[in-house]
Chain A
Amino acid sequence: MIPFFAQAPNPIIRWEYFIDEWDQIRRALVEHLELTIYAVTIGLVVAAGLSAVALRYRWTVAPINGFTAFLYTIPSVALFGILVPYFGLSRFSAVLPLAAYTLLILVTNIVAGFNSVSPEVKEAANGMGMTPTRRVLHVELPLAMPYIVTGLRIAVVSTVGLVTVAAIIGQGGLGRLIIDGLRRTFWTPMTIGAALSILLALALDGLILIGGRWLTPWAQRGKSAL
């Protein structure tokens, strides 16, 4: 007789889960990627705006820095939680905090990148008769690119990690597999969710690294403001 509490063995991972539940894993992976891309894209646009303001009006550097640092220190559980009453268990409630968390890293690196362009180079560009817009886009931006790419890498990797936390409000891609496995004390989805989110972070990091080298083949490696 089998006692009623007898359980199937619960290994750390069951490989057949990959085949049986591939649809679910793929959905989670795609959702994870989408949340990351939305958050970082919004973060990048906002950070570009804030950086432009900070670079144009020097006195705004401290307040902008303070504001983004403040956003960064808000606990993620609190920020996800506090949006739910207003925006529901929606994708918006997940993306908004994720984007907010990228700002500190992105603004710091973008500002540092543009500050790293030497005045002589700007003078030379002016002397060649470039309009300010053209100078920024064709001279300063490429020279600032290594910093921006480094900032982007850190932002993407930390966002991939934070997306899993969005699972507490029913979003969160691979994080949902973690929570799901935890609720059912079934380790396979949990292990897969956790492992894949780490692998995804490494993969995206490598991708941006390669993309950055391709964009700026002349650049020194590993420049960062942080």
Chain B
Amino acid sequence: MKNRGSIMSEAEVLAMGYAAVGDMDTAFAALERAYQARSAGLIYLHLDPAMNPCGRIRGMPSWCGGLGCGSLRLSNARSWRDQNAFQGDHVLSPLPDFENVLQQREQRRLSTCRDGASKLPLRLPIVSILVSPAA
């Protein structure tokens, strides 16, 4: 491969790749690095179809957005993922009622976030990591 100009690696872009191969642990780790570096690409993450490559599995981790709620909180996202065994090859397993469960969780989370909104320092839109295995 030829030597190309930029040496920068935007970690949120790596996360998109890891999500595509179903490696969620590494994807979340990359997102954490992007967050720590305040990578600008994160701010459009909730809109990017790369975070929903096939639309087959929709994860709604507890990232609480700035439109009334607060900050990007990857630790909460990890916690949500762990609670739901949403990692590794489990991503590939079909979950028939997955979306309903997620919607209910998200509603509960949002009502919790509203109560604590003023304590959160950063402002971001509600971010939805939408994860899917390869088609």
Partners in one complex: no
A residues adjacent to B (C-beta < 8 A): none
